[in-house]
Structure 1
Amino acid sequence: MTVVTGRTFKIRRARRRTVDVLLFVLIILVAVASAFPLVWMVLSSLKTPAESMQTPPVWLPGSPSLAVYGEVASVIDAGRSFWNSAVIATTATAGILVTSLMAGYAFAKYRFFGRDLLFAVLISTMFLPPIVTLIPLYRMVSAMELNASLIGVILPNLANAFGIFLMRQFIAGIPDDLIDAARVDGASELRIVFSVVAPSIIPAIAALALFAFVYHWNTYLWPLTILQGNTENYPIVISLSRLLSYNRGALNTNLVMAGATLAVLPPLVLFVFLQRFFVDSIVSAGVKG
């Protein structure tokens, strides 16, 4: 039996404190490095054109002004672009949540021939680069005559292999007895999915909603390909490229930064509201693992 003396205990406690301090410093450094681009973008949007082009860089604006944000709306149709982005991101996210819940429930709780093989094929699609599927999806949407429309942008994104995988993993942890009890009470399968299963995995649903919304809010290549120059249906991410052409040799860097700041606000606000569920989903996955 090992006897821990007072001196040994103090040494161990000192080492533990040193490790904790180092970890805390490391976390602070990572947080600062991650937040720096966002902070620089906001500060640059408040500078004058001369300050934004000054060398060496000016860290803080001399006379902060929000006037450039009004200029963004005059250069691009910001309201229309934000509406298009909201429609694309919200509709695609809703579709992914519904299809992922239903498919995840089927893969987790149903027993049918070829289930594991079908699930493996589904997961393998996650390893395909998006550029590989760009031309086939474009030809499919063109065959349906949905070019240059928001429906053409949204339709191929109503289902997602990662979403199905995530829902399947969480739904598999729900006791079968709970589902069987709902069936004995006469609940239909759809009612079980949305009234029994969904409330049990709220953190996972919130995390998936956050991932899907941010991805489809920021997506650039697919909308640019399918909309074919129809500027009325451009989402905000594509409309921001017009600020670059308006920039006249980087003389209005503050204008570009202001547009980028406006574009990042909706996903940031959504994350603030869903961060608790997002952390809960990570903790739950870690405990199950």
Structure 2
Amino acid sequence: MTALETPPTDAPATPVQVLRTEDRRVGPVVGKAVGYVVMTVAALGLLLPFVWMIISSLKTNNQVFTVPVQWIPDPVVWQNYLDIWTRSDMTTWLGNTLLLSVGVTFLQVFTGSFAAYGFARMRFPGRDLLFLVYIGTIAVPWQSYMIPQFVMLSDFGLANTLWSILLLQAFGAFGVFLMKQYFESIPESLNEAARIDGLSEWGIWRRIMLPLSVPAIASLTLLTFVNTWNDYLGPLIYLRSPELWTVQLGLKTFISQYNAEYALIMTGSVLSVLPIAVIFLLGQRYFVEGIATTGVKG
């Protein structure tokens, strides 16, 4: 066999070739293992404050800030979760927050998806420029126009009402952007076939686009719900009556009244975070799918 000839393919592998093959197999496995370890450590670091908050809600006041940290409460004070309801107006706070979060989320999903369908599927002069200007409002901070906005709503008699928060957040440029990018990943041939069958644009949006956009809708729903639930500045400006307070305003007032009741403060914090955690756990699959596929052309 000359130097230019190659060994037959059915020749037995040499020890060097076997070692190289094993190295190629072991390399990716080690990389994945290291990646999983790093992500696990990062996840534990992020979850540690929440775990401490939950554990602290089951302690007495003197045990909350003990050094070193007492990770297992002794005794477990379940009474904190009963006292928080009797010593605060938690039912009203959670009810108002839930009403605003659900209402704002519904309005933003409805208006955002409807406007996004117009930008993604309708053809009209100045469409791209109008979309660019509308999306550009995301870069304008709310603090720059919140005073004129407050004056306008006050003139309409909507200040100190839940309607003020609902109207302020009924429209969102981010939701339009997110839904438009996802709509563009849906083949336009489906719309053309529906128009040939006599379906109106309203029917196409409702019966074709929305059912095919469940991941994007879930992502927008989760993001909007979380932002509305955690909003503090908006309710602080517009909601002055105690019966209209959200859980964020209520907890701030509760902390100022019971600044030494650390266990109860942690209990209230757990109750304010629990609905968000449950909703995220239920919709995380759709959330990740919606974010990952947004902007991918069909």
> What corresponds to 2:287 in structure 1?
278
Asked if the contact 1:148–1:226 (Cα under 8 Å) also holds between the matched residues in 2, the reply is yes
Report the number of matched residues. 285
Name the structure 2 match of 1:82. 94
TM-score by length of 2: 0.91
> 1:95 aligned to 2:107?
yes
What secondary structure sits across from 1:145 in the alignment?
coil
Aligned to 1:5, the other structure's residue is in SS state helix
The CA distance in 2 between the partners of 1:24 and 1:203, in whole Å, is 26
Matches within 5 A, 1:130-209: 130-209=142-221
1:258-277 alignment, distance < 5 Å = 258-277=267-286
**Larger Rg belongs to:** 2
TM-score with structure 1 length normalisation?
0.93
1:123 equivalent among 132, 135, 154: 135
**Higher mean C-alpha displacement, 79-88 vs 10-19:** 10-19
Cα distance, 1:156–1:124 mapped onto 2, change above 3 Å = same
Return the match for 1:242 from 253, 265, 268: 253
Question: 5+ unaligned residues in a row in structure 1: which ranges?
Answer: none
- 1:7 aligned residue: 19
- Mark the CA change 1:104 to 1:64 in structure 2 (over 3 Å): closer, same or farther: same
CA deviation after TM superposition for structure 1 residue 136, in Å: 2.4
CA contact (8 A) 1:105 1:171 kept: yes
1:135 and 1:98 map into 2 onto residues whose CA distance is 27
Is the 1:134–1:222 contact (alpha carbons within 8 Å) kept by the matching residues of 2? no
1:205 is matched by which residue type in structure 2?
Answer: I
User: 1:246, 1:218 → 2: CA distance?
Assistant: 21
Partner of 2:223: 211
| 1:10 shift after superposition | 1.6
CA RMSD of aligned residues (A): 1.8
- What does residue 262 of structure 2 align with? 253
**1:288 and 1:62 mapped to 2: Cα distance?**
56
**Which amino acid letter does the alignment assign opposite residue 274 of structure 1?**
G
* Distance in 1 between residues matched to 2:288 and 2:84, nearest whole Å: 35
